[in-house]
């Protein structure tokens, strides 16, 4: 997370990181048949950049944007922006969460506001399959911290000693005469309620700490069961045999020319086919997003190596502070099917050709000169109720689809039910007024079609010439 105003003075320090003589030989990629990795991240400032984006990699080093580089989840709660998403999988693999910072810089909030009087909440989504997500909710984590002023950069790890999750994040607090960011933690089983927050990591004096992420080590690697990397002016490593136990300082990455004035947002990833780890670091100072440094022992700071030129690629979006999940084959199949690079389209009215289907306050109508333009943009997905059909997913509200209810239309969030899937699914047929255009027949009411009436979208039976014109549209870019 880009955080302290004092950091901004150090932006120019990041020049020449890749010119160091310590370079990494490109490792052999995993076999193509092996499942890969999912990264959740944000991409920049503003209401669009500060949302949830997904990327996929087959080998952990070369990444591809999912969903054509578009957002995959949008926060509709709190500040309506999110940063620093963390992916959490339950020990049994039957539930997933995304937890994120409730923060939208440039959307009515400045860095000064966010530091001194920001949201005390985290934003949380839940899923049972990694592709259909609940609506987001707010989790108050800093409200009980005396004079806690924000809640940033959340992470969570399963703790087998207590049979629950240790949820940890940074909060700016005045304590013992010093106001600064410290890492706090609480325990939770469901990310809906938490134990009383406590200080987890504090650096001496005025030194702040904001970003930290813990990785569990396999038996036989290093001297510790857990290693954590933190952004505290350096990228500092510590080791412990208990998540809530004593941690031992192990050093930092200054030896390879990396400090907290250049990089932040440490993000661990273990290669699935070998005992080697990538620690991705967000090059916030230069604006270049993530790059990996690698090691065969995360607890041995002298073993980290910078990437050789051309040894990794991050695709089109700038990937900022996030989280990586190693996928199972089933998870990967679902993910790639859910978020392919589907074209962005508009639906143009046949008899009012200056007007396009758009959502406005979640109602659906046809309008000219739509602003913002994204309100009239949709991805024509494979129908939620079956192949050979289509569903219309909003571009700027991913997960929201055109759905009929009582024969009226709304833009609604997919709740994963069969009823929603059927209401949001249509057969694309030859246009009723012009066969070179298209009409859209309801999946569960096949005697009815999408049409506009008084500029509002309806689901009606079509029996007249006017009705056929109202029910005809062109799928266009």
pLDDT at 108: 84
Comparison of pLDDT for 108 and 435, the residue scoring more: 435
Q: How many CB atoms neighbour CB 98 within 10 A?
A: 26
Q: Are 64 and 57 in contact (CB under 8 A)?
A: yes
pLDDT at 471: 98
d(CA 386, CA 391): 10
CATH fold of 344-476: Trefoil (Acidic Fibroblast Growth Factor, subunit A) (2.80.10)
How does 390-415 read in b/e, with b if 16+ C-beta sit within 10 Å? bbbbbbbbbbbbbbbeeeebbbbbbe
- Please check whether the two domains, 37-339 and 344-476, share a CATH topology: no
d(CA 100, CA 95): 17
Q: Which helix (H) or strand (E) holds 469?
A: helix 465-470
pTM recorded for the entire structure:
0.91
Instruction: Give per-residue pLDDT as tens, 209-265.
Output: 999 999 999 999 999 999 999 999 999 999 999 999 999 999 999 999 999 999 999
181: Cβ–Cβ under 8 A, 6 or more apart, which residues?
A: 3, 4, 152, 170, 171, 172, 173, 208, 209, 210
d(CA 86, CA 321): 9
For the chain, domain boundaries: 37-339, 344-476
Instruction: Give per-residue pLDDT as tens, 389-432.
Output: 999 999 999 999 999 999 999 999 999 999 999 999 999 999 99
Instruction: Give per-residue pLDDT as tens, 328-378.
Output: 999 999 999 999 999 999 999 999 999 999 999 999 999 999 999 999 999
Q: Identify the CATH assignment for 37-339 out of 3.20.20.120, 3.30.230.10, 1.10.8.50, 2.115.10.20.
A: 2.115.10.20
Position 299 pLDDT exceeds 90? yes
Which pLDDT band holds residue 1 (cuts at 50, 70, 90)? low
As a whole number of angstroms, the longest Cα–Cα distance in the chain is 78
Which pLDDT band holds residue 13 (cuts at 50, 70, 90)? very low
Average pLDDT over residues 13-21: 36
pLDDT at 6: 40
Instruction: Give per-residue pLDDT as tens, 50-64.
Output: 999 999 999 999 999
Which residue in 87, 107, 80 sits closest to 157, CA to CA? 87
């Amino acid at each position: 997370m880009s955080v302290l105003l004092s950091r901004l003075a150090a932006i120019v320090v990041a020049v020449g990181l890749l010119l160091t003589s310590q370079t990494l030989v490109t490792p052999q990629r995993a076999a193509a048949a092996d499942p890969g990795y999912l990264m959740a991240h944000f991409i920049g400032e503003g209401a669009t950049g500060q949302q949830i984006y997904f990327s996929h990699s087959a080998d952990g080093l070369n990444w591809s944007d999912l969903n054509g580089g578009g957002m995959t989840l949008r926060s509709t709660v709190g500040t309506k922006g999110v940063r620093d998403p963390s992916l959490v999988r339950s020990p049994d693999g039957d539930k997933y969460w995304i937890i994120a910072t409730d923060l939208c810089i440039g959307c009515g909030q400045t860095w000064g506001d966010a530091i001194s009087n920001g949201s005390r909440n985290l934003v949380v989504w839940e899923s049972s399959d990694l592709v259909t997500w609940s609506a987001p909710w707010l989790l108050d984590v800093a409200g009980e911290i005396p004079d806690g002023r924000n809640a940033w950069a959340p992470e969570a790890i399963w703790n087998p000693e207590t049979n629950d999750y240790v949820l940890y994040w940074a909060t700016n607090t005045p304590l013992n005469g010093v106001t600064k960011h410290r890492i706090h933690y609480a325990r939770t089983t469901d990310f809906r309620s938490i134990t009383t927050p406590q200080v987890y990591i504090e650096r001496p004096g005025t030194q702040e700490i904001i970003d930290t992420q813990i990785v569990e080590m396999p038996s036989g690697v290093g001297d510790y069961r857990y290693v954590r990397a933190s952004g505290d002016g350096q990228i500092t490593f510590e080791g412990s045999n208990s998540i809530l136990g004593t941690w031992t300082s192990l050093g930092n990455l200054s030896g390879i020319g990396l400090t907290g004035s250049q990089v932040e947002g440490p993000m661990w990833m273990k290669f699935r086919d070998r005992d080697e780890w990538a620690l991705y670091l967000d090059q916030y100072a230069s604006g270049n997003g993530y790059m990996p440094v690698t090691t065969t022992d995360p607890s041995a700071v002298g073993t980290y190596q910078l990437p050789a030129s051309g040894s990794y690629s991050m695709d089109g979006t700038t990937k900022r502070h996030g989280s990586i999940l190693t996928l199972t084959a089933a998870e990967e199949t679902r993910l790639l099917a859910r978020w392919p690079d589907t074209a962005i389209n508009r639906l143009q009215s046949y008899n009012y050709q200056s007007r396009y289907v758009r959502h406005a306050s979640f109602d659906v109508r046809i309008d000219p000169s739509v602003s913002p333009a994204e309100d009239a943009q949709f991805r024509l997905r494979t129908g939620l109720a079956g192949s050979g059909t289509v569903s219309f997913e909003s571009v700027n509200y991913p997960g929201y689809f055109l759905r009929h209810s009582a024969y009226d239309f709304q833009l609604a969030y997919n709740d994963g039910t069969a009823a929603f899937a059927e209401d949001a699914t249509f057969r694309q047929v030859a246009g009723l007024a012009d066969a070179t255009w298209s009409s859209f027949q309801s999946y569960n009411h096949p005697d009815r079609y999408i049409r506009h009436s008084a500029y509002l979208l309806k689901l009606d039976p079509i029996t007249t010439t006017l009705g056929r014109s109202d029910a005809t549209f062109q799928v266009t870019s």
